[in-house]
């Protein structure tokens, strides 16, 4: 009887674990680097680990940017991240952005605003 109960419990845990729905979550930290957008670096860095990916880059944003305006969503094999902008005029500033993405299933592309980048795993 104990073996039957253990088998049923194990099977239900496995079936529940396999029934994952697609999702994407993001966390953002912003560090203001300058009060203007001169010298914004176009490159970005990707660090990947078991908890997701971290993208680090510079971006020109409103000087008093509210990170709650950032949205992320899945579109097929692409994660789309939009940096929403306020509807009124604003002064710009240069920020360093650390964007953490956690998503299931694996994605092959990331679009940040209007730029799309392929994501490839390392061969190392």
pLDDT digits (tens, 9 = 90+) for 24-49: 999 999 999 999 999 999 898 999 88
pLDDT at 12 (0 to 100): 61
Distance CA 111, CA 78 (A): 7
Q: Which residue has the higher pLDDT, 122 or 60?
A: 60
Mean pLDDT (the chain) is 87
pLDDT at 49 (0 to 100): 81
pLDDT at 120 (0 to 100): 77
* Kind plus residue range of the DSSP H or E element containing 4: helix 2-18
Q: How far is CA 63 from the centre of its chain?
A: 22
Q: Residue with structure tokens 């966390």?
A: 27
Taking CA atoms, 87 is separated from 54, 62, 84, in Å, by 29, 11, 9
Q: Considering the entire predicted model, what is its pTM?
A: 0.79
The pLDDT of residue 62 is above 90:
yes
pLDDT at 64 (0 to 100): 92
> Which two structure tokens, joined as six digits, stand for 37?
């957008």
Length of the chain: 124
pLDDT at 5 (0 to 100): 66
What is the number of other CB atoms lying within 10 angstroms of the CB of residue 64?
10
pLDDT at 41 (0 to 100): 93
The pLDDT of residue 78 is above 80:
yes
Range list of β-strands (E), 18-108: 23-34, 44-49, 52-62, 70-75, 78-83, 92-104
Name the nearest CA neighbour of 102 among 9, 33, 14, 20: 20
Rounded to an integer, the average pLDDT of 99-123 is 89
């Amino acid at each position: 009887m104990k073996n039957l109960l253990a088998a049923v419990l194990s099977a239900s845990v496995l079936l529940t674990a396999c029934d994952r729905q697609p999702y994407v979550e993001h966390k953002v930290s912003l560090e203001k680097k300058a009060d203007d957008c001169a010298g914004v670096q176009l490159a970005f860095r990707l660090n990947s680990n078991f908890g997701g990916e971290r993208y680090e880059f510079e971006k020109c944003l409103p000087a008093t940017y509210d990170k709650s305006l950032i949205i992320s969503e899945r579109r097929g094999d692409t994660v789309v991240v939009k940096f929403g902008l306020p509807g009124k005029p604003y002064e710009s500033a240069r920020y360093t952005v650390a964007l953490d993405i956690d998503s299931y299933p694996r994605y092959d592309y990331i679009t940040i605003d209007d730029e799309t980048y392929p994501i490839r795993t390392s061969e190392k």
